[in-house]
Chains A and B, each alone.
Chain A
Amino acid sequence: MARITMREAISNALWEEMERDERVFIQGEEVGVWGGTYAVTKGFYDHFGEKRVRDTPIAETAIVGSAIGAAMTGMRPVAELMTINFAFVAMDHIVNEAAKLRYMFGGQFTLPLVIRAVSGGGRQLAATHSQTPDAIFAHFPGLVVVSPGTPADAKGLLKSAIRSDDPVLFIENATLYQTRGEVPDDPEHLEPLGKSKVQREGDDVTIVAYSKMVQSALKAADMLSEDGIEAEVVDLRSLRPLDMDPVIESFKRTNRAVIAEEGWRSYGVGSEVSSRIYELAFDYVDAPVKRVAQAEVPLPYNSELEQLALPKTEDIYRAAKEVLYG
């Protein structure tokens, strides 16, 4: 066990998987010589060389498209999108090609590729560099979409994603890179794709979250605990496939839920999770499910305004109190 940052956890996972399998290679903007704009691939270029750590032009369709093509030949590329905001340039290749080629050709090949992308706002990068459009990608069958909320999950999920024969969109969060957590040293420690996880147990209210909002939810749970309320925090980890079992199991005990996401509320992750709660556990509902999300605005540059728009720990705390009628 080691207490390391999420950045280190992701970096370690990449390094170990590249050592383990020659077919794994990285490509993206500034991943090589620069060492990655978030320093995730620092040191990789010197160690693995330019064949396996490939700097690309600023050309997202080429980055993602050629990764898909290489995957078709049996390689296991990890393509990096500097931020998920640039994914829209390569939208066709993510949702039309990566998600569908295997199906359309009757399963003649697999696409064992990973697309890593950084999501989220809060760093005054203004509207087009601060989005959390994760739910959009989770809409498409054929894609696997995961987003870890803890360093241990980041390492375990990224390893699973690289070893998976399915195309995985691995969504990281820039403000989470600094978060520290206990991470197993074992290079064979994997976390399963498509499975949620209870990060904190409690019987009074269920808080469902993923990525950065897991950390916010845990802090909110501490605040609630001071009020004598024990919250259960369920970390989705995977947006597609979506694992509702731990959520429902928790909800049956608590009868009330808050869903927290950094993206916008409309058509977001909370819409899907709350819908499923009503479908699967209607008789256990004691209060309407509350969704904590970003204000429905493009994120502004000014830091106060930006913080006002983003969902916070206090929002989760208050929403939990509301569903408890307290």
Chain B
Amino acid sequence: MAELITMPKLGFDMAEGTLVRWVKVVGDEVNKGDVIAEIETDKATVEVESSVSGVMVKLVVDEGTTLPVNAPIAVVAQKGEEPSEEELKALVGEEGGEKSKKKAKKEEKPAKKGQESKKEEEPEAKEEEADITPAGGVRSSPLARRMAEDHDIPLQKIDGSGPRGRIVKKDIEEFLEKGPEPEVSKSERQVSLPAFAMGEIPEDQVVEMSRLRQAIGRRMQDSNQNFPHFYITRAFKTGALLKLRKELNELLPEEDKLSVNDFIIKAVALALRQYPNLNAVIEDEKHIRRFGHVNIGVAVAVEGGLLTIVSKDADQKPLRLIAREIREMAGRARDGKVKNEDIEGSTFSISNLGMFGVDNFAAIINPPEAGILAVSTAQDVPMVVNGEVVVGSQMKATLSADHRVTDGAEAAEFMRVLADYLEEPKRLLL
């Protein structure tokens, strides 16, 4: 039986060694205990002895090779035995082979969320040594925080008597002593309750899906399952936008009045000019087609599903024209009289659920487009300006993008550029 000789472990922390010199070569007679090679570890050069007697039939590696412990280095066969190439290969291959170090392929995905302050109005963070204001802007001991939570007191209402304004137990205690807890304001929304009648429980109802619904279903399933979506959300300050819209609408006739979505269509179209990968389609395995036109598709709810009406060359058109066209196409769509050119040629889509009080959502890309922007409601929220908490208007939008044509950094930059347009909407007029 041929015996495999392996790289021996010659020290308690040895992981690999270098075979620096063969002392026995193929054909040499080997006695148990004979030195067959010299091995260099990072500590010393050591001689390796054979643990069997016989004839050297194979030197597995060349001089100068570095191998891990237990890797095969030679084969000694019995005298007279002549193992075949296959047998040798099997012996060496089965019991070892270098362990390849697989380097984990790192995909570069530095998601730069829009933290950069490029606006003059955004405050510069003042950082004093060890005086960084903790999250929420309030210092409090863990105990005080828990007590405040238990009694439903917002910490902002309490003055801290501890060092650097820390709220401590006695501050909470004093606050509680002072007066009754403030009433929680009732919700202003009127909730109209549906008619209620206890009576017969109806049977299950099987409803046929409209062809539109079925088509949407197929396309969305295809898109969601087969294309690598990723999502980037950004909050846009909409104060300036709403103000400008109000001013402009005072000058416009009814059929041209601008909706917030029209501004968004224009802004997205202009931004896409700078990020053509998002205005593209996969041509084949190795190519994408960046479209020459920027045609923004807008999802419109119709009976039985959705239709995407298309604002062609939205980057070229003035806002009022975008508004007029969308108004007309949407009308045709709801009346069931949509024209082919209304719904064809979209290169990028927008889905706007802003009228439904939605905080944020992500849409599924309309294949074969590269992206879709999901726009949510503009709401008054507390925000930080110059270190102060103030009330402002904000709208969140989420970009769903196809990772085959773009990546996080690019998509995030697109969102930033979009923010430039939406937060300084005068740019849309130029």
Residues of A within 8 A of B (CB): 255, 282-287, 325
B170 at the interface (CB under 8 A from A): yes
- Report chain B residues within 8 Å CB of A285: 141-143
CB <8 Å contact, B162 and A325: yes
- Assuming the contacts A325-B161, A325-B162, asked whether A283 and B168 have C-beta atoms less than 8 A apart, the reply is no
Whether the pair B170, A325 counts as a contact (CB closer than 8 A) is yes
Those 9 A-B pairs whose CB atoms lie nearest each other, nearest first: A286-B143, A286-B141, A286-B169, A285-B142, A283-B146, A283-B142, A255-B143, A286-B168, A282-B142
> Roughly how many angstroms separate A286 CA and B142 CA in the complex, as a whole number?
6
Give chain B's interface secondary structure class. Answer: helix
Residues of A close to B143: CB separation below 8 A? 255, 283-286
Q: Note all chain A residues with C-beta closer than 8 A to B161.
A: 325
Cα(A287)–Cα(B162), bound, Å: 9
Q: Which residues of B contact A284 (CB under 8 A)?
A: 142-143
Report B274-305 residues with CB < 8 Å from chain A CB. Answer: none
Complexed CA–CA distance, A198 and B347 (Å): 76
Cα A3 to Cα B169 with chains together (Å): 42
Tell me whether B144 is interfacial, beta carbon within 8 Å: yes
By beta carbon, the residue of chain A nearest B171 is A325
CB distance from B139 to the nearest CB of A (A): 12
Binary flags per residue of B239-258, CB closer than 8 Å to A gives 1, else 0:
00000000000000000000
Chain B contacts of A282 at CB under 8 A? 142
Inter-chain contacts of A325 with B (CB < 8 A): 161-162, 168, 170
- The docked-state distance in angstroms from the alpha carbon of A285 to that of B141 is 6
Q: Which chain B residues border A286 with CB–CB below 8 Å?
A: 141-144, 168-169
Q: Would you give the shortest CB distance from B159 to chain A, in whole angstroms?
A: 13
Residue-wise interface mask of B (199-240) relative to A, using a CB-CB cutoff of 8 A (1 in contact, 0 not) = 000000000000000000000000000000000000000000
Q: What CA separation (Å) do A255 and B170 show in the bound complex?
A: 11
Residues on A with C-beta less than 8 A from B162 are 287, 325
* Residues from chain B with Cβ under 8 Å of A255 in the complex: 143, 169
* B281 CB, nearest partner CB in chain A, Å: 54
A-B pairs with beta carbons under 8 Å apart, 20 shown: A255-B143, A255-B169, A282-B142, A283-B142, A283-B143, A284-B142, A284-B143, A285-B141, A285-B142, A285-B143, A286-B141, A286-B142, A286-B143, A286-B144, A286-B168, A287-B141, A287-B162, A325-B161, A325-B162, A325-B170
Closest chain A CB from B134 CB (angstroms): 14
Main secondary structure of the interface of A (DSSP, over half): loop
Closest to A252 in B: B143
Q: Which residues of B (159-186) have their CB < 8 Å from a CB of A?
A: 161-162, 168-170
Contact digits for B390-416, partner A, Cβ 8 Å, 1 yes 0 no: 000000000000000000000000000
Which B residues are CB-close (under 8 A) to A283?
142-143, 146
What is the distance, in angstroms, from A322's C-beta to the closest C-beta of chain B?
A: 10
| Contact residues of B between 133 and 157, Cβ < 8 Å to A | 141-144, 146
Which of A284, A286, A287, A325 is most buried by chain B, counting CB atoms within 10 A of its CB? A286
Bound complex: CA of A285 vs CA of B167, how far in Å? 12
- Please name the residue on chain A nearest to B170 by beta carbon: A325
Complex CA–CA separation, A283 to B143 (angstroms): 5
* Shortest distance between the CB of B147 and any CB in chain A (Å): 9
Nearest CB on B from A112, distance (A): 34
- Bound form: Cα–Cα A46–B142 in Å: 61
Q: Which residue of B lies closest to A255 (CB)?
A: B143
Q: A177–B146 Cα gap in the complex (Å)? A: 46
A102 to B25, CA, bound (A): 52
User: B168 contacts which chain A residues (CB < 8 A)?
Assistant: 286-287, 325
Mask of B110-152 contacts with A, CB within 8 angstroms, 1/0 = 0000000000000000000000000000000111101000000
Chain A residue nearest to B140 in the complex (CB): A286
Chain A residue with minimal CB distance to B172?
A286
Min distance, Cβ B160 to any Cβ of chain A, angstroms: 10
Please, which residues of chain A bring their CB within 8 A of the CB of B170? 325
Smallest CB-CB separation from A282: which chain B residue? B142
CA distance A282 to B142 in the complex (A): 7
How many whole Å from B149's CB to the nearest CB in chain A?
10
CB of B34, distance to nearest CB on chain A (Å): 38
Closest-CB distance, A290 to chain B (whole angstroms): 13
Give complex CA distance A315, B75 in Å: 76
A325–B143 Cα distance when bound, in Å, is: 14
Task: Write the nearest CB–CB distance from B1 to chain A, whole angstroms.
Answer: 39
Q: Within the complex, what minimum Cβ distance (angstroms) separates B422 from chain A?
A: 43
Q: What residues of A have a CB within 8 angstroms of the CB of B141 in the complex?
A: 285-287
Question: In whole Å, how far is A242's beta carbon from the nearest beta carbon of chain B?
Answer: 23
Expressed in whole angstroms, the Cα–Cα distance for A289 and B142 within the complex equals: 13
Residues of A within 8 A of B146 (CB): 283
> Which of chain B's residues has its CB closest to A322's CB?
B163
Bound state CA distance, A326 and B379, in angstroms?
A: 46
From B162, which residue of chain A is reached at the shortest CB distance?
Answer: A325
Min distance, Cβ A251 to any Cβ of chain B, angstroms: 10
Q: Enumerate chain A residues within 8 angstroms of B144, measured Cβ to Cβ.
A: 286
The 0/1 profile, CB within 8 Å of A marked 1, for residues 310-353 of chain B is 00000000000000000000000000000000000000000000
Q: How far is the CA of A283 from the CA of B161 in the complex (A)?
A: 19
**CA gap between A287 and B139 in the complex, in Å:** 12
Q: Which residues of A contact B169 (CB under 8 A)?
A: 255, 286
Q: How far is the CA of A284 from the CA of B142 in the complex (A)?
A: 7
Chain B: CB-nearest residue to A278: B142
Q: What 14 additional pairs, Cβ within 8 angstroms, besides A285-B141, A286-B168, A325-B168?
A: A255-B143, A255-B169, A283-B142, A284-B143, A285-B142, A285-B143, A286-B142, A286-B143, A286-B144, A286-B169, A287-B141, A287-B168, A325-B162, A325-B170
A90, chain B: closest CB distance, angstroms: 29
CB distance from A103 to the nearest CB of B (A): 21
Distance in Å: Cβ of A108 to nearest Cβ of chain B: 25
In the bound assembly, the distance between CA atoms of A282 and B141 in angstroms comes to 10
Report the bound CA distance from A325 to B167 in whole Å: 11
Q: Output the nearest chain B residue to A288 by Cβ-Cβ distance.
A: B141
Name which residue of chain A comes closest to B144, CB basis.
A286
Nearest CB of chain A from residue B13's CB, rounded to whole Å: 21
Taking CB as reference atom, which chain B residue is nearest A287? B141
Q: How far is the CA of A282 from the CA of B145 in the complex (A)?
A: 11
A252 to chain B, nearest CB (A): 10
- Distance A286 CA – B169 CA, assembled complex (angstroms): 6
Note all chain A residues with C-beta closer than 8 A to B142: 282-286
A284 nearest CB neighbor, chain B only: B143
Report A116 CB to chain B, min CB distance, Å.
39
Closest to B141 in A: A286
Closest-CB distance, A58 to chain B (whole angstroms):
38
Note all chain B residues with C-beta closer than 8 A to A287.
Answer: 141, 162, 168
Nearest CB in chain A to that of B149: its residue: A283
A282 to B144, CA, bound (A): 11
